[in-house]
């Protein structure tokens, strides 16, 4: 893909988002980037204030080509973004530990997505109200309508950020050991140790009234399943696109 090429299915590629090291692992299509974003709840937002770089972890969700996150209205990051600020959002997944026959060839299997855009505070009351529902329903389908409504003070204390994704790239390693041919006979164990975040058994709150059952809308979070798969399943149910 050439510089600044944009299509309905891929993000434009420029020096800002081009994968330079091991470029064969780079992907720029929306399907791949969005899948990595949707398989996680935690992102890291990088931004600069008065020449000092910061990187803030926060929960995120996606609607089409827009990323959202939220936080306390007292947050320095969120106050800084009020006028609009260039930001870089990263989501990454560790999928495996790769043990080779020499230290140089040890590696990891992973998926990562890096997104660039200008973040803004969601000021419109209706958009903010929708976002405060979305931060629940994106992960737990149909749950927001069953909850006690947010108070005026709770809404005021929460700031919502939106960042249209202007450019993005994904980088993926998903293969086995890449030893040099002359090292294959070296007598040491080599291979891949897969890494997964697996859901455990639910732990009901002891203060629930008798007879309250876990709803079927949480079936994606089944014991023994992976968080990755659960989040992709709930995004598929939620995604307005």
Q: Residue 84: its pLDDT value, please?
A: 82
Strand partners, 159: 71
Non-local (6+) Cβ contacts of 79 within 8 A are 73
Residue 36, in any domain of the structure = yes
Q: Residue 51: its pLDDT value, please?
A: 87
What is the DSSP code string of 118-156?
EEEE---HHHHHHHHHHHHHTTSTT-GGGSPPPPHHHHH
Residue 191, in any domain of the structure = yes
CA–CA separation, 208 vs 217, rounded Å?
A: 18
CA–CA separation, 147 vs 58, rounded Å?
A: 22
Instruction: Specify the CATH number for the domain of residue 59.
Output: 2.30.110.10
Q: Residue 80: its pLDDT value, please?
A: 67
CB-based contact 168:115 (threshold 8 Å): yes
Write the pLDDT tens digit of every residue in 136-188: 999 999 999 999 999 999 998 898 999 999 999 999 999 999 999 999 999 99
Q: Residue 70: its pLDDT value, please?
A: 86
Largest Cα–Cα separation, the chain: 68
Task: Give this prediction's pTM.
Answer: 0.90
Residue 237, in any domain of the structure = no
Residue 135, in any domain of the structure = yes
Residue 100, in any domain of the structure = yes
The number of domains in the chain is: 1
Write the pLDDT tens digit of every residue in 40-49: 999 999 988 8
Helices (H), the chain: 30-38, 76-80, 125-137, 152-156, 227-238
Non-local (6+) Cβ contacts of 118 within 8 A are 84, 85, 86, 87, 163, 164, 166
Non-local (6+) Cβ contacts of 113 within 8 A are 33, 36, 37, 90, 91, 92, 168, 169, 170, 171
Residue 73, in any domain of the structure = yes
Residue 29, in any domain of the structure = yes
Q: Residue 47: its pLDDT value, please?
A: 87
**Structural domain of 175:** 23-196
Q: What is the mean pLDDT of residues 116-140?
A: 93
Residue 240, in any domain of the structure = no
CA–CA separation, 196 vs 227, rounded Å?
A: 8
Q: Residue 6: its pLDDT value, please?
A: 47
Q: Residue 3: its pLDDT value, please?
A: 42
Give the percent of the chain with pLDDT over 90. Answer: 81
CB-based contact 168:11 (threshold 8 Å): yes
Residue 229 has pLDDT above 90, yes or no: yes
CB-based contact 124:108 (threshold 8 Å): no
């Amino acid at each position: 893909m050439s510089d600044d090429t944009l299509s309905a299915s891929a993000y434009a590629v420029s020096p800002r988002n081009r994968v330079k090291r091991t470029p064969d692992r780079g992907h720029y299509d929306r399907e791949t980037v969005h899948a990595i974003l949707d398989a996680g709840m935690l992102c890291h937002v990088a931004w600069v204030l008065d020449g000092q770089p910061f990187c803030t972890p926060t929960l995120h969700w996606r609607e089409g080509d827009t990323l959202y996150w939220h936080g306390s209205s007292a947050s320095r990051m969120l106050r800084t973004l009020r006028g609009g600020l260039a930001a870089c959002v990263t989501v990454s997944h560790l999928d495996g530990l790769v043990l080779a026959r020499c230290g140089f060839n040890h590696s990891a299997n992973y998926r990562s997505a890096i997104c660039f855009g200008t973040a803004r505070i969601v000021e419109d009351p209706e958009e903010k109200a929708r976002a405060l529902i979305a931060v629940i329903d994106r992960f737990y389908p149909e749950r927001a309508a069953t909850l006690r409504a947010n108070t005026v003070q709770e809404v005021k204390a929460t700031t919502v950020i939106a960042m249209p994704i202007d450019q993005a790239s994904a980088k993926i390693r998903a293969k086995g050991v890449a030893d040099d041919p002359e090292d294959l006979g070296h007598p040491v164990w080599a291979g891949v140790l897969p890494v997964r975040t697996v859901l455990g058994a639910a732990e009901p709150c002891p203060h629930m009234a008798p007879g309250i059952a876990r709803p079927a809308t949480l079936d994606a979070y089944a014991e023994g399943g992976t968080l990755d798969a659960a989040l992709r399943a709930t995004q598929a149910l939620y995604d307005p696109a």
